[in-house]
Structure 1
Amino acid sequence: MGYTGRIVVARSPEPLTALGDAEVLDESSYRGGWRAAQLSGDLSDALRRLVAETGAPAITAFILDSDVADVEASTPAGGYWHVHLHLKKAAEYGAPDLGQTTAEVTEQALAWAAEAGLTADGEAVRTALEATNVLAEETFDELLTALGLEPA
């Protein structure tokens, strides 16, 4: 059995432990003041809350049994994108088809990264979106790196 829970990532001067009732299992830092928190379970409306509380772009992933990542990203200006990582497995779990091509999601992700002040690698973003690692959280980590988030 793998990890099930939400990973939240935002630029914040404070640890992301004050987000709500979910227990923080692990927290990590990225350059430029970005932080990630791996939560035990889910946090309702996590993305909207992160963007509202930090005033900065944010990205979250709900990981299901380490098999699938349901990724959403948003910006204060209203930019938004949504994708499932490990698409074949997501379909097996009954996730709806989001009706977007990898190229469309890549374009949206690059626009999000630019608004977030990150330097993304378009080819690496596309590769991460199509990857099928053993653990969905590893694929999400690859996506974060491709979007320009570098560990501190």
Structure 2
Amino acid sequence: MGYTGRIVVARSEKPLADADVLNESSYAGGWRAAQLDGDLRNALQMLVAQTGAPAITAFILDSDVADVEAATPAGGYWHVYLHPKKAAEYGAPELGQTPAEVTEQALAWAAEAGLTADGEAVRTALDAANVFAEETFYELLAALGVKPAQSE
């Protein structure tokens, strides 16, 4: 049995969530990630509104699938399943975008977020099939430019 819950990621000076946080991590450039126990509806919209900056979330289902959504204050939005074959097995609806379209949208999101993304690494993460979907999500974050904080 794997992890089921939501991971929220945004640039913020304060913690991203007040309750039900299993783990919170800091990243370079003031980015934070919080792993929530369960789901928080409208998490993406709340993060963008609270921070006034681009944000990204992933709902992880039993560590098998990551349902990823990202948005910007200017109205940019993209949505993708990591491990899409597993998502289809779970009955997730088709999203109707090609990997190339999602990659383009993800790179635009990263640019608006002030990040330096690697397009090839983004595409590789979108196609990855790790054992754990959350591992694939963290690879996607790194490809988008959300990097671990440097050790002091």
Q: TM-score, normalised by structure 2?
A: 0.97
Match of 2:130 in 1: 133
Whole-Å separation in 2 of the counterparts to 1:123 and 1:44: 31
What does the per-residue CA deviation read over 1:51-100, in whole Å, with 9 as the maximum and x for residues that have no partner? Answer: 00010100000000000000000000000000000000000000011001
In 2, the alpha carbon distance for the partners of 1:46 and 1:15 equals 14
**Aligned 1:21-32 pairs, distance under 5 A:** 22-32=19-29
3-state SS, counterpart of residue 139 of structure 1? helix
How far apart are 1:17 and its partner, in Å? 2.5
| Alignment RMSD (CA, Å) | 0.6
1:143 corresponding residue in structure 2:
140
Instruction: Return the offset for 1:15.
Output: 1.0
SS at match of 1:17: coil
Alpha-carbon separation, structure 1, partners of 2:71 and 2:16: 17
Q: Distance in 1 between matches of 2:87 and 2:41?
A: 20
Give 1:89's match in structure 2, choosing from 71, 86, 94: 86
Alpha-carbon distance in structure 2 between the residues aligned to 1:15 and 1:56: 15
Corresponding residue for residue 53 of structure 2? 56
Return structure 1 stretches of 4+ with deviation > 2 angstroms. none
Which of residues 62, 67, 71 is equivalent to 1:70?
67
Structure 1 regions of 5+ residues with no counterpart?
A: none
Q: Percent identity?
A: 83
Q: Normalising by structure 1, report the TM-score.
A: 0.97
Task: Count residues in correspondence.
Answer: 149
